[in-house]
């Protein structure tokens, strides 16, 4: 309900479009910004049936036409996709959290420096890590975690000429657990790792 966008289609004020995200109080009633708006016949922009607690996108054309397009339950916008990335200096022989992330694509505000906390549901999660080149030692993605508990790991070592690794998995989240990653290297000195973490709702 706090996401608002406006697009001007022409100089005619009757052609203005305002896009608001609200929530269905019932199959025919929308709750927007503290007010209840009755809708006689909801018009879907895609197949589906509106139900209570569904989040919706509203578009108003002129003064008499209201189009309601379903976004999805749980307030998931933009297909339930979030991507964060960052660069981290990893100390020698230290299991290191990737906690210097910033948003790449995050329409739901799930991302943070430490990772992603998506809404409840099933997700495909991928962590990619590009390591600084080095001649000796191991470079490993030690953990892909949900709520502090590991659900995937990659013990394969990145080679000196192909210093990139990735790990992925499908996980069910409850809407409260942070998804994050940890890495390890033992080259004998600090090494830089560039990472990219993504979650995509299934």
pLDDT over threshold 70, residue 36 = no
In the 8-state DSSP scheme, what is residue 137? S
20 and 96 belong to one structural domain: no
pLDDT over threshold 60, residue 28 = yes
41 and 129 belong to one structural domain: no
109 and 191 belong to one structural domain: yes
Of the listed ranges 44-48, 116-120, 164-168, 172-176, the one predicted with least confidence: 44-48
- Domain end marker among 73, 95, 116: 73
pLDDT, one tens digit per residue, over 100-122 is 999 998 877 899 999 999 988 88
pLDDT of residue 92: 95
Q: What is the mean pLDDT of the chain?
A: 75
Identify the residue whose tokens are 């976004």. 71
pLDDT of residue 135: 77
pLDDT of residue 54: 64
Is 199 within 8 Å of 179 (Cβ atoms)?
yes
In this structure, the number of other CB atoms found within 10 A of the CB of residue 24 comes to 21
> At 8, is the pLDDT very low, low, confident or very high (cuts 50, 70, 90)?
very low
> At 79, is the pLDDT very low, low, confident or very high (cuts 50, 70, 90)?
low
- Domain end marker among 52, 73, 94: 73
CATH code assigned at 124: 2.60.120.670
pLDDT of residue 100: 95
107 and 194 belong to one structural domain: yes
Backbone dihedral region of 98: left (phi > 0), alpha (psi from -120 to 50 degrees) or beta? beta
Is 90 within 8 Å of 54 (Cβ atoms)?
no
pLDDT over threshold 60, residue 128 = yes
Total of domains in the chain: 2
pLDDT over threshold 60, residue 14 = no
14 and 53 belong to one structural domain: yes
pLDDT over threshold 80, residue 188 = yes
- Domain end marker among 27, 57, 73: 73
What's the burial of 25, exposed, middle or buried (CB within 10 Å: 0-12/13-18/19+)? middle
Q: Is 175 helix (H, G, I), strand (E, B) or coil?
A: coil
The domain containing residue 149 runs over which residues?
78-201
pLDDT over threshold 90, residue 161 = no
Is 166 within 8 Å of 183 (Cβ atoms)?
no
Of the listed ranges 31-40, 77-86, 135-144, the one predicted with least confidence: 31-40
Is 1 within 8 Å of 77 (Cβ atoms)?
no
In this structure, the number of other CB atoms found within 10 A of the CB of residue 162 comes to 10
Measure the CA–CA gap between 37 and 122, rounded to whole angstroms.
32
> At 10, is the pLDDT very low, low, confident or very high (cuts 50, 70, 90)?
very low
Is 89 within 8 Å of 154 (Cβ atoms)?
no
Measure the CA–CA gap between 62 and 28, rounded to whole angstroms.
21
Measure the CA–CA gap between 91 and 96, rounded to whole angstroms.
8
pLDDT over threshold 60, residue 134 = yes
């Amino acid at each position: 309900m706090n996401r608002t966008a406006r697009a001007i289609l022409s100089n005619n004020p009757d052609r203005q479009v305002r896009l608001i995200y609200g929530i269905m109080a019932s199959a025919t009633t929308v709750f927007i910004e503290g007010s209840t708006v009755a809708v006689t016949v909801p018009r879907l922009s895609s197949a589906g049936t509106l139900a209570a607690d569904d989040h919706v996108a509203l578009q108003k054309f002129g003064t008499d036409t209201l189009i309601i397009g379903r976004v999805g339950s749980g307030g998931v916008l933009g297909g339930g996709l979030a991507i964060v990335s960052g660069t981290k200096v990893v100390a020698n022989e230290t299991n290191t959290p990737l906690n210097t992330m910033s948003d790449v694509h995050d329409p739901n505000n799930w991302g943070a420096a430490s990772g992603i906390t998506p809404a409840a549901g099933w997700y495909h999660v991928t962590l990619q890590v590009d390591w600084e080149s080095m001649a000796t030692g191991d470079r490993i993605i030690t953990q892909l975690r949900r709520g502090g508990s590991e659900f995937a790991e990659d013990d394969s070592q990145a080679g000196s000429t192909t210093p990139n690794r990735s790990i992925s998995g499908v996980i069910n989240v409850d809407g409260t657990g942070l998804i994050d990653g940890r890495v390890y290297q033992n080259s004998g000195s600090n090494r830089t790792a560039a990472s990219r973490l993504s979650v995509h709702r299934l």
